[in-house]
Amino acid sequence: MTTWTDSTADRPITFSAPSGVDRSAHHRLDEAWLAAAWSHPTTRVFVVSGGQALIDDTPDGRTELIMTPSFEAPLTEAHRYYLGTDEEGVSYFALQKDSLPGRLDQSARAAGLREAGLLLSPRDAGLLVHAVALENWQRMHRFCSRCGERTVIAAAGHIRRCPACGAEHYPRTDPAVIMLVTDEQDRALLGRQVHWPEGRFSTLAGFVEPGESIEQSVAREVYEEAGVVVGDVEYVASQPWPFPSSLMLGFMARATSSEIQVDGEEIEEARWFSRDDLTAAFASGEVLPPYGISIAARLIEQWYGKPLPRP
């Protein structure tokens, strides 16, 4: 059995590394504290719009999320979200706007998490994930699901309250399972979704259904998508995935059958790969690895024993 080598084990899963920012949820309802934090000269603010923010490359080769002091930030009436405070006492806010502000030096560029996730520091990536997740939820849940009244923002962006019926609504997170399945020959099952480019293969994945355990979800999704029966299921790690509101729960699973029958709707093609098969397919270009920000790459690496080639 190949183990996860030091070269892969030391690399944190994208969006899951410690950011150094304490979300400090106890401050979200303290309007006086929030006002003081907003006006503090060390506070830093960035704008999020449509899942994107401004990033910039520094002279020393790093990529940073562009943040400004609060007194330089664009005005907003309600869409100001407190994201937390770091160990040095710096507080961070995100502003949701209809468009990103321009930059006088023209050096900045707009980027979403798929591009910026691998470039930003754990602090900046964590802040952007938090802000994008809140923005997605805020844009899609403006009305009360109980009575239909328009809701108002509270708790520094983490609650929407209904002024009519008093209901409180919280940010939605949809649990999803993502799994690398191996068989008795220790081959890995990889599939290609219908809308993916030719050659792009990755792990199977799907949403947890109501009344279902995550282990049951793993087995059901693998059978539905590839016709393979799964036995043992082992949890590995999780990853926030705000596209728009998921939490990916990563697993290793052992198949008890090997015949593949794809559903043809979500999965167009699925194959068993030995490590040698996958190495040769990468080298020839027959198979493209999953995108680097996804936990899928780390699950495959755990079995593969070394980092995957960059797509």
Q: H/E element holding 86?
A: strand 80-86
Phi first, then psi, for residue 19 (nearest 5°) are -95, -15
The residue among 72 and 104 whose pLDDT is bigger is 72
- pLDDT one-digit tens code per residue, 264-282: 999 999 999 999 999 999 9
Residue 3 is predicted with a pLDDT of 36
- Please state the rounded mean pLDDT for residues 241-255: 96
Buried b / exposed e along 58-93 (16+ C-beta atoms within 10 A):
eeeeebbbbbeebeebeeeeebbbbbbbbeeebbbb
Q: How confident is the model at residue 10 (pLDDT cuts 50, 70, 90)?
A: low
Q: How confident is the model at residue 40 (pLDDT cuts 50, 70, 90)?
A: very high
**Amino acid (one-letter) located at 69:** P
Domains of the chain listed by start with CATH number? 21-169 (3.90.79.20), 174-304 (3.90.79.10)
- pLDDT one-digit tens code per residue, 107-118: 789 999 999 998
Q: How confident is the model at residue 102 (pLDDT cuts 50, 70, 90)?
A: confident
Q: pTM score > 0.85 for this model? A: yes
**Amino acid (one-letter) located at 181:** V
- Please state the rounded mean pLDDT for residues 170-199: 96
CA distances from 293 to 13, 33, 76, 120, 183 (A): 8, 35, 31, 11, 26
- Please state the rounded mean pLDDT for residues 26-48: 97
Residue 162 is predicted with a pLDDT of 98
In which region does residue 85 sit, left (phi positive, over 0), alpha (psi from -120 to 50) or beta (all else)?
A: beta
Q: How confident is the model at residue 292 (pLDDT cuts 50, 70, 90)?
A: confident
- Please state the rounded mean pLDDT for residues 50-70: 94
